[in-house]
């Protein structure tokens, strides 16, 4: 939604960091006319926007380096049993869930940039400490500290994105997600090199590289202007997000729709390996196609979804696209080898479109229905709902859907369509319950 955020003094000045952030973007476009050049061309925007894009890109490259190889490091190099690694990550994740909303509230009251920088510094230290871990208890403690800081930083990041986004936040968030996806892809490619080497030194390099990405991201945030804290209305309750029924319902629906991410990363690879005749490399191919489509199309589609009403319709569109893609994936079990591979590629294209519409809807509704002075708290609540959905996704997808076979896929498709169908009504309800924002939303829609 095209909301008028408070104008910060000096916001229109050319920031001293502009050249530094532009250098990172230029690196992406060194191959003239190539993919990097095309993507770098969409950054544009103000100095603060370029800084936040650069910082997020650096951080996500580090995440990509670490995420793909972390489990293998602790099982193969450190020697922890896989069950112990899973238990430690589960404990850390559950504790981290409780930190998002308080962290977001702190960002609203003390400044999103400062809180996010503090969280990034903690993550840099905890990530570096992982190279010293030799026991399950130490791993659990360090992982828990990291997850708490990640939850706090994620909520603060949402508040900061809302401030930096300016008068066209949807376009900025779409560009930001494009570079976030690209960063993860590049980092994952780098992790593949370390996995091929298989040595302790290679794995340690990935971990320290991720730690350095947190530190560099925090340093880049120093180049952002200081955004003053927005005052809450008089006599507002301490945590208004918990009394906002439309937002609570959206949080639940957004967490439910988030099962689509595990559909690609978990359910589909298992389905390809166990139920289709497609070559095994098809699992990697569909993942790469999914990432590529999201990088190339996120800005083009997402920049047009600005108001909560846009978000409601986009949520419905996403559900309908998943209604098409899930049966296509299921039918791959009944087609010959190369036909199955082609059908899966076509299915992942449709699914990727649905992912873009779904994420864009999440931006428009998640930010558009949240009051400006409490963005951090509301983003913390939304993150809690999303994380809860991701936590239960493996159990649902691997038992219910895989257990029922094609019927399970069809039920999953109908589930996504039903959740998405609630989007337009939810948007109307949300706008109706916040009159001040409704006027701005309707003006923007007109």
Predicted TM-score (pTM) above 0.75: yes
* 9 Cβ neighbours under 8 A, 6+ residues apart: none
Considering only the top CATH level, what class is 18-221? Answer: mainly alpha
What is d(CA 174, CA 197) in angstroms, rounded to the nearest whole number? 36
CATH value of 240-445 in 3.40.50.150, 1.20.1250.20, 3.90.1170.50, 3.30.1540.20: 1.20.1250.20
The H or E element that residue 102 is part of is helix 100-110
What is d(CA 382, CA 26) in angstroms, rounded to the nearest whole number? 34
What is d(CA 430, CA 446) in angstroms, rounded to the nearest whole number? 18
Question: In Å, how far are 161, 193, 356 from 190, measured between CA atoms?
Answer: 28, 5, 25
pLDDT at 182: 87
What is d(CA 233, CA 436) in angstroms, rounded to the nearest whole number? 13
pLDDT at 395: 85
User: What does the buried/exposed string (b/e) look like for 249-274 if buried means 16 or more CB atoms within 10 Å of the residue's CB?
Assistant: ebbebbbbbbbbbbbbebbbbebbee
Domain range summary for the chain, segments of one domain joined by +: 18-221, 240-445
pLDDT at 431: 92
The residue whose two tokens read 């809302």 is 162
pLDDT at 435: 58
pLDDT at 236: 64
pLDDT digits (tens, 9 = 90+) for 11-65: 333 333 333 334 433 433 333 334 444 444 445 556 888 899 999 999 989 888 8
DSSP codes joined into one string, 239-279: -GGGG-HHHHHHHHHHHHHTHHHHIIIIIHHHHHHHH--S-
What is d(CA 321, CA 83) in angstroms, rounded to the nearest whole number? 36
User: Which pair of tokens denotes residue 52?
Assistant: 């936040």
Ranges of residues in the chain with a pLDDT under 70 are: 1-46, 68, 167, 235-237, 435-446
What is d(CA 198, CA 186) in angstroms, rounded to the nearest whole number? 19
Q: Are 18-221 and 240-445 the same fold in CATH?
A: yes
Taking a C-beta distance cutoff of 8 angstroms, is the pair 425, 312 a contact?
A: yes
Cα distance from N-terminal residue to C-terminal residue, the chain: 12
* 10 Cβ neighbours under 8 A, 6+ residues apart: 225
Question: In Å, how far are 41, 119, 222 from 114, measured between CA atoms?
Answer: 30, 9, 9
């Amino acid at each position: 939604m095209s909301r008028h955020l408070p104008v910060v003094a000096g916001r229109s000045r050319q920031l001293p960091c502009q050249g530094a952030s532009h250098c990172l973007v230029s690196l992406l476009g060194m191959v003239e006319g190539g993919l990097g050049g095309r993507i770098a061309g969409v950054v544009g925007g103000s100095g603060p926007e370029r800084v936040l894009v650069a910082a997020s890109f650096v951080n996500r490259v580090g995440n990509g380096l670490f995420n793909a190889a972390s489990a293998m490091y602790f099982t193969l190099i450190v020697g922890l049993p896989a069950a112990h690694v899973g238990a430690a990550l589960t404990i850390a994740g559950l504790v981290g869930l409780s930190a998002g909303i308080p962290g977001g509230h702190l960002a609203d009251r003390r400044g999103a940039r400062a809180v996010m920088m503090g969280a990034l510094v903690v993550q840099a230290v905890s990530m570096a400490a992982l190279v010293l871990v030799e026991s399950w208890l130490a791993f659990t403690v360090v992982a828990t500290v990291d997850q708490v800081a990640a939850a706090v930083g994620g909520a603060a990041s949402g508040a900061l994105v809302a401030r930096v986004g300016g008068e066209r936040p949807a376009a900025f968030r779409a560009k930001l997600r494009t570079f976030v996806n690209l960063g993860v892809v590049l980092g994952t490619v780098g992790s593949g090199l370390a996995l091929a080497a298989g040595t302790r030194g290679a794995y340690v390099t990935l971990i320290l590289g991720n730690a350095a990405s947190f530190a560099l991201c925090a340093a880049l945030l120093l180049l952002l202007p200081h955004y003053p804290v927005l005052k809450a209305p008089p006599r507002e309750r301490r945590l208004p997000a918990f009394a906002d029924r439309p937002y609570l319902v959206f949080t639940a629906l957004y967490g439910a729709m988030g099962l689509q991410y595990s559909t690609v990363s978990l359910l589909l690879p298992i389905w390809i390996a166990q139920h289709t005749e497609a070559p095994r490399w098809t699992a990697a191919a569909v993942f790469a196609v999914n990432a590529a489509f999201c990088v190339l199309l996120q800005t083009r589609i997402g920049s047009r979804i600005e108001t909560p009403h846009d978000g409601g319709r986009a949520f419905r569109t996403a559900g309908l696209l998943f209604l098409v893609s899930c049966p296509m994936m299921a039918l791959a079990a009944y087609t010959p080898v190369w036909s199955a591979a082609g059908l899966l590629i076509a299915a992942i294209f449709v699914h990727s479109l649905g992912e873009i519409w779904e994420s864009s809807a999440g931006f428009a509704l998640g930010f558009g229905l949240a009051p400006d002075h409490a963005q951090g708290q509301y983003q913390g609540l939304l993150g809690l709902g999303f994380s809860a959905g991701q936590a239960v996704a493996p159990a649902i997808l691997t038992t219910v859907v895989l257990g029922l076979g094609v019927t399970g896929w069809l039920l999953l498709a109908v589930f996504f369509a039903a959740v998405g169908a609630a989007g337009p009504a939810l948007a109307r309800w949300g706008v109706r319950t916040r009159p001040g924002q409704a006027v701005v939303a309707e003006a923007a829609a007109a």
